[in-house]
């Protein structure tokens, strides 16, 4: 389908033009226009309203054109949810529509449902860079949390047998990324942008992996406190542009926060550190709350998505670092700004 080809090439305006040329209903054109101007919440409301009206009236899709238009409504709703970070809603839809294997995998990765990732990869055999990145992060998770064990279960502190598997996945990710890059035109286009983001995710995956290995080596020796600021400071300086899509920010921060949580869990469960040493380590691991506050600020100011901003700030209250005065004060100020009309 021509519109899908344009979507794959990140030519969103051409894709909208193709859909508009085949659309028969005014709400379709209205939703497309809203999406082009990044009003994804309003576009989503238009689509939901029409889908509900269609269901309530019991209208029959007796023509090919009508069925095609309703299919576009569903796909546009999915696009809006992606941009609005509504991964729980997308997860419910993907569970109901078994054919949407890639959507199911994306939801499982964003929500870090590791069991679903493993099952979907075995079922659908999707072989692409994003898939391999998911597998690598899953292996990184299993360094501390083996399959079949919950994060609250007693466990060995650090499982080195998973490291070889991580190395294998990293090599495969690199191969697929380079292969995908070579398949694109030599002239930079919008199609290069998602791949560049995946390259950044891959680089930060390697950095996070090395950081965890360094942390494990250091805190295995009594009395040593690891210095991890070099990598984390680099991450603070390596952010998307404020005007970049929320999905771009979300992709980056989901995996950064995952690495932060692994680091914090490794410190908390390490048998070689005393309670006092564990208490002194959090100043080195403050990037998780900083990241969430930064993400909340972008969603509120640059994208006018106050509900997402408030949801992120509410989650921040459950982090250990929230008890520190600096973050508590910044959190309160961000909440006040978020509630302003």
Q: What is the pLDDT of residues 88-141, one digit of tens each?
A: 888 888 887 655 678 888 888 888 787 787 788 777 777 778 888 888 888 877
Token representation of residue 339: 């509630």
What pLDDT sits at residue 97? 66
Cβ(285)–Cβ(219) under 8 Å? no
What pLDDT sits at residue 44? 92
CA distances (Å), 277 to each of 29, 133, 138, in order?
A: 60, 33, 29
DSSP letter at 97? Answer: -
Q: What angle do CA 319, 320, 323 make, to 5 degrees?
A: 105
Residue 335, pLDDT above cutoff 60: no
Tokens 């998973």 sit on residue: 162
Coil/strand/helix, residue 245: coil
User: What average pLDDT does the chain have?
Assistant: 76
What pLDDT sits at residue 225? 53
Mean pLDDT of 178-206: 88
Q: What is the sign of the dihedral through the CA atoms of 210, 212, 216 and 219?
A: positive
Residue 156's pLDDT band, with cuts at 50, 70 and 90, is very low
Q: What angle do CA 25, 28, 31 make, to 5 degrees?
A: 150
* d(C-alpha 239, C-alpha 222), whole Å: 35
Residue 14, pLDDT above cutoff 70: yes
Report percent pLDDT > 70 for the chain.
74
**Phi-psi sector, 58: left (phi>0), alpha (psi -120 to 50), beta:** left
Residue 303, pLDDT above cutoff 60: yes
Residue 341's pLDDT band, with cuts at 50, 70 and 90, is very low
* d(C-alpha 307, C-alpha 338), whole Å: 8
Name the range with the highest mean pLDDT among 42-46, 114-118, 185-189, 272-276: 42-46
* 218 CA to centre of own chain: 30
| Listed residue (255, 248, 260, 288) closest to 134, CA to CA | 255
Tokens 């990145």 sit on residue: 133
Residue 301's pLDDT band, with cuts at 50, 70 and 90, is confident
Residue 273, pLDDT above cutoff 70: no
What pLDDT sits at residue 309? 74
* d(C-alpha 299, C-alpha 301), whole Å: 6
Q: Which of 50-64, 213-227, 251-265 has the lowest mean pLDDT?
A: 213-227
């Amino acid at each position: 389908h021509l519109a899908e080809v344009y979507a794959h090439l990140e030519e969103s305006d051409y894709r909208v033009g193709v859909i508009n040329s085949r659309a028969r209903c005014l709400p379709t054109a209205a939703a497309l226009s809203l999406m082009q101007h990044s009003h994804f919440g309003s576009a989503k409301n238009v689509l939901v309203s029409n889908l509900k009206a269609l269901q309530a009236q019991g209208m029959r899709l007796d023509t090919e054109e009508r069925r095609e238009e309703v299919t576009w409504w569903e796909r546009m709703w999915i696009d809006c949810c992606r941009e609005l970070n509504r991964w729980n809603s997308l997860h419910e839809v993907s569970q109901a529509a078994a054919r949407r294997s890639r959507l199911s995998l994306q939801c499982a990765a964003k929500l870090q449902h590791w069991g679903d990732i493993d099952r979907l990869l075995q079922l659908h055999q999707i072989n692409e860079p994003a898939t391999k990145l998911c597998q690598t992060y899953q292996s990184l998770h299993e360094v501390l949390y083996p399959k079949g064990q919950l994060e609250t279960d007693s466990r060995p502190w650090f499982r080195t047998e998973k490291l070889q598997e991580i190395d294998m996945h990293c090599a495969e990710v690199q191969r697929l990324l380079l292969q995908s890059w070579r398949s694109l035109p030599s002239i930079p286009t919008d199609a290069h942008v998602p791949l560049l983001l995946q390259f950044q995710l891959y680089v930060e995956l390697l950095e996070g992996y090395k950081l965890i290995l360094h942390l494990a080596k250091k805190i295995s020796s009594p009395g040593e406190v690891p210095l991890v600021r070099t990598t984390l400071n680099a991450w603070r300086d390596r952010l998307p542009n404020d005007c970049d899509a929320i999905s771009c920010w979300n992709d980056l921060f989901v995996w950064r926060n995952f690495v932060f949580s692994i680091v914090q869990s490794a410190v908390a469960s390490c048998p070689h550190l005393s309670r006092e040493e564990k208490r002194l380590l959090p100043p080195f691991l403050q990037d998780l709350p900083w990241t969430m506050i930064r993400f909340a600020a972008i969603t509120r100011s640059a994208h006018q998505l106050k509900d997402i901003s408030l949801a992120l700030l509410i989650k921040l209250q459950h982090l250990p670092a929230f008890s520190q005065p600096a973050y508590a004060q910044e959190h309160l100020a961000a909440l006040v700004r978020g509630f302003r009309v």
